[in-house]
Structure 1
Amino acid sequence: MAKNRPNQGARKTETLTLRLDPKYKLLIELISRVRRQSITGVIEAAVEDVASDLDTPYFDDGEMHNYSLGAVFSDVWSSDESERFINMCYRLPTLLTYEEQRIWEIIKSSPVFHAKEATTLQTDWEIGGIGRLDRGMLRLHWEDLLEYAADKRDSKTVDPFVPDF
């Protein structure tokens, strides 16, 4: 009998496969023994240490600042992918890939994602010349938006997303 697996969106952890030099693999195992924690715990602690020491350009209150990535990460993180994406686009715009920049440009050019007077779920930050985003509409159309962006990836212009209602 097959076991029920949670869908991808319901997972509490992610799997990461790494190729390591055997020397570093042993080093990680030894650290885990000394600290009496799992290998996963060792890696997570190492990543948090690096993030706390790593300055990154961070957009806030209309200005770019340099803050520790560890200090601002909670402003970006959300368990909702669409929230996480727009938070990253707004707060850490210099770190976007080309594909992410295209999706962000589509969002900004699409009136369906702009907050209206009746919008109840909007961003707590504003985009110059656009205003706040309607987070509810973005969540509702997230998968369709990603598909639309993939279909338009070779276009030389950014065309607004218009959902099929």
Structure 2
Amino acid sequence: MATKTSKRTGETSTTVSVGIRIDPKIKFALDIMGRLQKRSLTAVVEWAIAQAIAQQSVDFDGSTLSTVLDKIWSTDESSRLVQLAIHMPEALTYDELRTWETIKATEHFWQRYADGSWSAEPSRLLASRVRSSWKEILDHVERNKASPTILPMTDEDLMPDIPF
């Protein structure tokens, strides 16, 4: 997904460009809808997708994708992955699942109990640590992608520039 850069240095657009192929009849129908709604083709496509998202059921209790997206969406990639893993784990890709399982297996990212133990319960996640270690997490997952098991991160993985 490409984020468009504006003419001012350092600013990014709030939209992304997506290339799609559609049937000529559907394109014609979208053009007609645009005329009827007094919208551009882009606005009609965006409106149609928003309607589909609002109608897409995601679980047994009748929640829609639109409702769940409000809980998941963040401009921060690490926050978005964590929220997706918590609220819609079935939607994780293989690579996202490996990343989430690495976070779950790494003690550093979890608040300890009074007795010093810890568990990977979402309410005990130290999101600020995940956010500040995001690059190291992704690097660790990439380095260990061939491993048949999830490998927890070590102090060396979390602080690679500091000799131990």
TM-score of the superposition, structure 1-length normalised? 0.77
Are 1:93 and 2:117 matched, yes or no? Answer: no
Q: 2:73 aligns with which of 73, 77, 97?
A: 77
| CA displacement 1:9-61 (0-9 Å, x = unmatched) | x442111111122222222222112111122221221122112221113xxxx
The verdict on how the C-alpha distance between 1:154 and 1:22 changes in structure 2, with shifts beyond 3 A counting, is same
Q: Name the counterpart of 1:161.
A: 153
SS class of match (1:55): coil
| CA displacement 1:89-110 (0-9 Å, x = unmatched) | 0000111111111111001011
Q: Name the counterpart of 1:111.
A: 107
Sequence identity of aligned pairs in percent?
Answer: 28
| CA displacement 1:46-78 (0-9 Å, x = unmatched) | 122112221113xxxxxx844111122100111
The verdict on how the C-alpha distance between 1:66 and 1:99 changes in structure 2, with shifts beyond 3 A counting, is farther
What amino acid does structure 2 have at the position aligned with 1:46?
A
* Structure 2: distance between partners of 1:65 and 1:142: 33
* Structure 2: distance between partners of 1:147 and 1:82: 13
Q: 1:55 aligns with which of 54, 57, 63?
A: 57
Q: Name the counterpart of 1:124.
A: none
* Structure 2: distance between partners of 1:161 and 1:114: 13
Give the number of the structure whose alpha-carbon radius of gyration is greater.
Answer: 2
Count of aligned residue pairs for this structure pair? 145
Conservation of the 8 A alpha-carbon contact between 2:53 and 2:66: yes
* Structure 1: distance between partners of 2:142 and 2:88: 22
- Higher RCO by CA contacts (8 Å cutoff, separation 6 or greater): 1
* Structure 1: distance between partners of 2:42 and 2:112: 44
* Structure 2: distance between partners of 1:5 and 1:26: 38
What amino acid does structure 2 have at the position aligned with 1:94?
E
The verdict on how the C-alpha distance between 1:152 and 1:66 changes in structure 2, with shifts beyond 3 A counting, is farther
